[in-house]
Amino acid sequence: MAPKAQKKPQGKQMAKSSAPHKPKNSAINASRLMKYSRARIFQRKAAYKVKKVKTPAKKSAEKAAAAAFVVKKIGGDKNGGERKVYKKTPKSLPTQVASRKVQLRPKKTFKKHVRRIRSNLAPGAVLILLAGRHKGKRVVLLKQLESGLLLVTGPRKLNGCPLRRVSQRYVIGTKTRIDISKVALPERLNDAYFRRQRSAKKSAASAGGSADIFAKSDAAYAVSAERREDQAAVDKALMGAIKASGDGPMLRSYLRSLFSIKSGQRPHAMVF
């Protein structure tokens, strides 16, 4: 028989404890069974003393529902005498209230997805690009954008890689770091800035408007003035940071060189 628990003064005398939460119930041997049943826990927590607070939210919901229609009187016998006239026709007028399945974990839209970054990729890290136009080049990581893609630059002066987005999946993060705390990135560098521009004609055609399908696609990609401006600004700051770092001249030639696997090198055993 378990000894009787000592009654502690409750209610007014019980101050709000700042002690860490000690759950009264616990699982038995890592199974789904709990030590105390629901009824028992109700007693132990003295939950009968806790007054339930009515949520006022229901009232506002009712009000909103009431405002959606107007009650109008109609003539004639035996037809109720009243009709609810909806101000805005609702999408459906169900005869039964559909039971909503409670979504404990609703589907997350892409915007709300958690963006992770590999632990060895920090701003200022030198990355090796493994795919794409600039594969093999060693570039500097500037930051991670909101979409999760990495913003990198050559610097363009050293290896021709411009300010560019890159997926971290196609990248090897090296241990080499450059201190870019003094490098101020332009505010406008975000995902929208780097988004591909579709020509107006094409977008009209896709929207269903009549467009000449034999019309030549727009001229080749031309670098915008703001791109040039941002590239120059970032490059200047970054070259300064490279110069200031310990191994300036070596770093420069390092970033100019291309990465390749030589005979006898085993990537899985190499430290990058």
Partner 1 sequence: MGKLDKFIEVGRVAFIANGKDSGKVCAIAEIIDQNRVLIDGPCSGVRRQVCDMKRLHLTRFCIDLPHSARTAVVRRKWTAAKLDEKWKETSWAKKLEARRLRTNMSDFDRFKLARAKQIRNSIIALAAGKIRKEAKAKPNALRFRKPNKKRHIKKE
Interface contacts to partner 1, rule CB under 8 A: 126, 128, 138, 172, 174-176, 247, 250-251, 253-254, 257, 259, 269-272
Query: Who's near 149: CB < 8 A, 6+ residues apart?
Result: 165, 166, 167, 168, 191
> For residues 199 and 93, what is the distance between their CA atoms, to the nearest angstrom?
44
Q: Which is nearer to partner 1, 194 or 259 (CB)?
A: 259
**Least separation in angstroms between CB 5 and partner 1:** 47
161 vs 189 by CB, closer to partner 1: 161
Least distance (Å) from partner 1 to the CB of residue 260? 11
Q: How many angstroms separate the CA atoms of 85 and 73, rounded?
A: 10
Nearer to partner 1, 76 or 246 (CB): 246
- In the complex, what is the shortest distance from the CB of residue 237 to partner 1, in angstroms, rounded to a whole number? 21
What's the distance, CA 92 to chain centroid? 34
Rounded CA gap, 201 and 48, in Å? 70
**Per-residue three-class SS string for 205-221:** HHHCCCCCCCCCCCCCC
Q: 42 or 272: whose CB is closer to partner 1?
A: 272
Query: Is the dihedral angle over the CA atoms 262, 266, 267, 271 positive or is it negative?
Result: negative
Minimum CB–partner distance for residue 229 and partner 1 (Å): 31
Q: Which CB, 172 or 205, lies closer to partner 1?
A: 172
Least CB distance to partner 1 at residue 148 (A)? 24
Q: Which is nearer to partner 1, 35 or 118 (CB)?
A: 118
Q: How far is the CB of 175 from partner 1 (least distance, A)?
A: 4
DSSP letter string, 14-47: -----SPP--S--BSTTSS-BSS-HHHHHHHTTG
Alpha helices in 2-152 (DSSP H): 38-44, 57-67
**Distance (Å) of CA 153 to CA 125, 163, 203, 236:** 11, 4, 30, 12
